[in-house]
Structure 1
Amino acid sequence: MSHVSAVLLVLLAGTMWAASGTAAQDFYAQSHHLPVELTQVRLFLSSGLFFLLAWWSGGLQRGVRTLRHSPRLLLRMAVHGILGIMIVQFSYFKGIAAGDAAATTVICSTSPALMILYLAARHRRLPRMAEMLTVAAAVAGVFLLVTGGDLTRLSVPSDCVVWSLVSGATFVFAMIYPVHLLRRFDRFFLLAVCMLFGGIALLPVTQAIADVGAFFTAQTWFDLFVIIGLGTVVAFFAF
């Protein structure tokens, strides 16, 4: 894949994730469902769609054969599904519920700066000048957003700030951890299994998936299409 194609795919993924945030904000306004319920429904339905795509591409059969030979890989997939996918989405939706989609998305965009700091610590080196400027710009941008330049108050609810930072930090993990898994599995199959693990992990908290029909109303079906179809299937595939 060319560098230009890769950049365009990342831009597509980012745009779809941002669209899902706006749709989630409207979904909360139109329904009584909680972020944890929306997260579980999103994960289970998206998992089903990715299983269909894996079957269509032939990745389902290859993935099952790989797991038969190396069943321990299921544990790594569970880790990515819970820490790298479920918590990212849940904390993102919690941030939107506590504040708004715009603020949450901007704060979450600190993840590249967090990635720079992580890699610098991992390789025991100081960030390069361009990287340091990137981190400084990200911190300054979030500072201006949450305070409006006034140190005595927050213009964004503190819960929104905390959940958004959690989402950004766990997104860094989601970018790094599955690299070795992508070498072993078809991307559709990997996403299907990991999202299934993420949805299962929420069962002790909520069983919203059992009443999934209640989510699709005349006021919310388009929001769910954007959140699940565009913000999950298209976004994760492109990324």
Structure 2
Amino acid sequence: MIKGKNMRLHGIILAIAGPLLWGFSGIAAQALFTTYQMSPRWLVCIRMIGAGILLILFGYATEPHAMNAPWRQPRSAGALLVFSFIGMLPAQLTYFMAIKHSNAATATILQFLSPVLIIVYLAIRYWHRPRKTDVVSVILALVGTYLLVTHGQLNQLSISTTGFVWGLLTALSTAIYTLFPRHLLRKFGAVPIVGWAMLLGGVSFLLFLRGKSLPVLDFRGILIVAFVIIFGTLFAYLFVLQSLRFIAPTMTSLLGAFEPLTSTILTVLIFQIQFGWPELIGTILIIMTTGLQALADSK
């Protein structure tokens, strides 16, 4: 049994391991796109179906009664279906499209703009003045994005316009993915909701891939896809969820910064992407917005 300080250390390790695996997953996806010319759409479909099945099996093995609970009430069943199609699926698709048209580091960093979009939405939705922390977060995010995508030069973009747009769509879809299922997660838990949403979203996306041939992969390519499904999705989610048993959500949110840091370091080392001081400073500013929000919420 884990006790005392060991509980906190165990939670911290889990909270770091999840984002690290997400970061490695983005790099693996970029390798599939560049080396095997795999379509992001096919990877999204395969990842969601594979990870959804594994999460559901895990749920039935650990909490069998919880897995069917969302389907027993028409309202929650409808909300889960909506979340699958407008929350889970777009969040997965936009992220991989952003990687395809830019790189794993840029896509992951732009994804971390989602807290700023949530701040703006909540301020408009409930018509209240943002906190000082919120205003600072928005400013940091805007400056950080400017440095990240322009290399500090106003007259040019350091990434393609298409990649930048997909990155912003990733942040938007992540904000929706975060806000929409809050009631479902509180009532039924994360494993049933995430598992069913992944499976349903992936199966529905098959309809858009009819007539498109499956990607041709060698054994190494199959192993990379398996890594994305098993380690980059299943274990990453489970590690982060398990960390919440031992440490506060604030700490888990702060340690989520390991995802963009991992993606950035590996993108530079593996794919030889130029990442200068403006991009580095922009990355730090964007990540700081998540830290500020986590610390403000904890108070």
The normalised TM-score by structure 2 is: 0.70
What residue number does 2:141 align with?
138
Secondary structure, aligned partner of 2:188: coil
What residue number does 2:236 align with?
235
Q: Is 1:157 the counterpart of 2:160 in the alignment?
A: yes
What residue number does 2:62 align with?
57
Q: Which amino acid aligns with 2:188?
A: F
Out of 20, 26, 29, which is 1:24 matched to?
A: 29
Structure 2 unpaired stretches of 5+: 1-6, 242-299
Return closer, same or farther for 1:175/1:202 CA change in 2, 3 Å cut-off: same
C-alpha deviation, 1:192, in angstroms: 1.8
Secondary structure, aligned partner of 1:126: coil
C-alpha deviation, 1:108, in angstroms: 1.3
Q: Is the 8 A contact 1:40 1:208 kept in 2?
A: no
C-alpha deviation, 1:191, in angstroms: 1.7
C-alpha deviation, 1:211, in angstroms: 5.3
Q: Distance in 2 between matches of 1:189 and 1:26?
A: 31
C-alpha deviation, 1:77, in angstroms: 0.8
Q: Distance in 2 between matches of 1:155 and 1:218?
A: 35
Q: Which amino acid aligns with 1:51?
A: I
Q: Which amino acid aligns with 1:55?
A: Y
Q: Is 1:192 the counterpart of 2:175 in the alignment?
A: no
C-alpha deviation, 1:163, in angstroms: 0.7
C-alpha deviation, 1:230, in angstroms: 2.4
Return closer, same or farther for 1:62/1:208 CA change in 2, 3 Å cut-off: farther
C-alpha deviation, 1:96, in angstroms: 0.7
The one-character-per-residue Cα deviations of 1:39-71 (angstroms, maximum 9, x if unpaired) are 000010011101110111123x33325523x13
> For 1:86-235, what aligned pairs fall within 5 Å after superposition?
86-207=89-210, 214-215=216-217, 217-235=218-236
Q: Please say which of residues 42-51 and 78-87 is displaced more in the overlay.
A: 78-87
Q: Please say which of residues 225-234 and 142-151 is displaced more in the overlay.
A: 225-234
Secondary structure, aligned partner of 1:192: helix
The one-character-per-residue Cα deviations of 1:122-170 (angstroms, maximum 9, x if unpaired) are 2212222222111111111111111112222111111111111111111
The one-character-per-residue Cα deviations of 1:90-124 (angstroms, maximum 9, x if unpaired) are 11100111111111111111112222222222221
C-alpha deviation, 1:6, in angstroms: 7.7
What residue number does 1:42 align with?
47
Q: Distance in 2 between matches of 1:232 and 1:168?
A: 19
Q: Distance in 2 between matches of 1:176 and 1:226?
A: 28
Q: Please say which of residues 83-92 and 122-131 is displaced more in the overlay.
A: 122-131
Q: Distance in 2 between matches of 1:167 and 1:146?
A: 15
Q: Distance in 1 between matches of 2:212 and 2:12?
A: 35
Q: Distance in 2 between matches of 1:104 and 1:8?
A: 25
The normalised TM-score by structure 1 is: 0.86
Moved over 4 A (4+): 2-12, 207-212
Return closer, same or farther for 1:153/1:188 CA change in 2, 3 Å cut-off: same
Q: Is the 8 A contact 2:110 2:167 kept in 1?
A: yes
Aligned length: 234
Q: Which amino acid aligns with 1:198?
A: G
Secondary structure, aligned partner of 1:202: helix
Return closer, same or farther for 1:209/1:182 CA change in 2, 3 Å cut-off: farther
Q: Which amino acid aligns with 2:68?
A: V
Secondary structure, aligned partner of 1:46: helix
Structure 1 unpaired stretches of 5+: none
Q: Is the 8 A contact 2:60 2:67 kept in 1?
A: no
Q: Is the 8 A contact 1:44 1:209 kept in 2?
A: no
Q: Is 1:67 the counterpart of 2:68 in the alignment?
A: no
Return closer, same or farther for 1:209/1:63 CA change in 2, 3 Å cut-off: farther
C-alpha deviation, 1:22, in angstroms: 1.0
C-alpha deviation, 1:202, in angstroms: 0.9
Q: Distance in 2 between matches of 1:41 and 1:129?
A: 43
